[in-house]
Structure 1
Amino acid sequence: MTSNVDITEYSYSRDPKNKVIAYQTFVAQLKTMDDIRSNKEYGKLALAILNIMSYCKSYNFPTIILSGLVDDDNSQQLIKSSLDLLIAYQLIGSHTKRGGLVLNIHTLTQENILTMLQRQGMYKKVLVKTINLFITALTDTQYLCEEGVILEDICSHVESVVCYGQWADLDRECKELEHSLLEFIFFYSEFEY
């Protein structure tokens, strides 16, 4: 994936000083993505997680949402190892919130990943995958509630994904995600009482 990128075609920032910093970060992260991709065990899943997080808010991403990415008896261990890989490369951070692990990602990293996805022609495909992942997670409302997922966190991430989806003309998928969110909110409010 590493390629020659001309700073004049990289348009993250209007401020020339910030544009140079953003460009340098973009080039460094291209190399980092290649390094992660070369990890045969966890690289593919780690990049999938990173791609998904690029459409969400940059903070308090509940890792429980990622459970639908892997259909395997070892799914939690695979996800944990993939997250450890991303943390080791300093692409994401993590902390505990209300007993559950949540992730953070720098907004510049999100912008860089979205730019990479656009350049690869994968932007819409990964966005649909992200929408479907959230729909799957939201249908398991009992589990999410028992795991202590905070409603505001889920709502903020869904809102972000829907905004990207509407921009990409994915209206049908966005309506389905919004419907799943409304059902989740209803169940969540019943669960809390």
Structure 2
Amino acid sequence: MRPNPAQRFDTGAVWLDLLATVGSAYGPDPVDRMGSVELLVQWLEHEGLSPVAPPGPDDVVRARELRELLRPLGLAAAAGRAPDPAHVDALNAVLARDTPIRLTAGLAAEPPATAADALTRVARQAAEHLAGPTAARLRTCDDHDCAMLYDDVTGRRRWCSAAVCGVRHRVRAHRSRAAGGE
């Protein structure tokens, strides 16, 4: 898997953005966007989850583990299938470490103490999304190399991003027509 620092934040939910830290996950050359502590720090900051204690290398491992735990659960929900009970048990183990969110006087959430706490908040959001009515809005990108999960609030999207995978599809279709393939 090749590293790439270009993060994606267009999936519609923080937990889905975590899954997007692997680009072209099903293609021949996946792109890892969570390959260093610096990238994890940037990702957490963008998502409003910067912890009080600075993340370390073990937190990158935890983020990747959570990402790969949530992926099959999201894919099962998008396909309308029951999830693997082992994945549900593993997510429940992460959720068991969850701590309540405390609010400041200004009604903002206090920052998580550690990156592990931040990732547990991501797991909580995923569990709420997967267990609620919003699970029916989960889709996978129609680009077979991408298949990134996203929250389709309109019910009309085919691509995780019209500007990325949608354009790639139109270019492929144009090339196929130009070559006499259609």
* Superposition TM-score, scaled by structure 2 size: 0.29
Q: Indicate the structure whose relative CO is greater, using CA pairs within 8 Å and at least 6 residues apart.
A: 2
* Superposition TM-score, scaled by structure 1 size: 0.28
**Larger helix fraction of residues:** 1
